[in-house]
Amino acid sequence: MSFSDRIQKFQQLLNTHPAFNLVELTGAILLFLKGMTGWILNTPKLLIYVWFWIRLRGIGWQGVGLLKPSDWKKVLLLSVSIGMVYLLYNAYFLEPLFIKISGDLPDLNSLKSLMGNIEDLIMLILGSWIFGAFGEEIIYRGYLLNLLARTLGQKPVSWILAVIISSIFYGFAHSGDDLSVKLMSMIHGLVFASLYFYTERNLWCPILAHGIHDTFKYSMVYLNIYP
């Protein structure tokens, strides 16, 4: 048996034996918990972990949903529409609702310097596309959601639980101790996961909608018109 045949046999075992899913999931959860309070610093670590496992399994980035869409115009239109509509819904309804429910005002001190500061705006938008739109969607929707579903048996109820659990992890990855931000982030996770399934588990719509949402949110803060 050649070396390449042995690699293929190992990858087949890795992709079919449920015990490996549990090992992989345990590692992901431990890494997540270790860096839970610093999402920007933890995102590169999680991406390296994702890269390691998709290489080991031989599935490539396509295996987590980075597939070329059949119609880019449709994807862009849907992404812009969802990103903008959800931003307005979030700003004028969800955020006030969760602040009222939790009694916890989010700490916005980190955004104060953004108002009228074009350099900070550019850097924040760039960071949000790299670490938020691309990084988080690959980690939480493309990777963790699918890993949870595989671990739970890939039945319809497994996918539902995977969406809920991955959204909870996504929520707790945000903004330290601010409960209202965690709750809103969980809803963000559910919205982007729904978009992921609506586009047949293609990550491009969630990535673009996520990036557009954040870009316009920070632009509104910059202009001092965010409610």
Q: Given pLDDT bands bounded at 50, 70 and 90, which one contains residue 35?
A: low
Give pTM, 2 decimals. Answer: 0.91
- Residue 176, pLDDT score: 64
Residues sharing a CB contact under 8 Å with residue 142, sequence separation 6 or more, in sequence order: 50, 64, 65, 66, 196, 203
Average pLDDT over residues 116-139: 93
Q: Over 60: is that where the pLDDT of 39 sits?
A: no
Render pLDDT for 13-32 as a digit per residue (tens, 0 to 9).
Answer: 888 888 899 999 999 998 88
Q: Over 80: is that where the pLDDT of 115 sits?
A: yes
- 69: exposed, middle or buried (C-beta count within 10 Å: 0-12, 13-18, 19+)? middle
> Pick the residue with more confidence: 143 or 114?
143
Neighbours of 131 (CB within 10 A): 18
Lowest mean pLDDT among 49-53, 181-185, 193-197: 181-185
Neighbours of 155 (CB within 10 A): 10
Q: Over 90: is that where the pLDDT of 161 sits?
A: yes
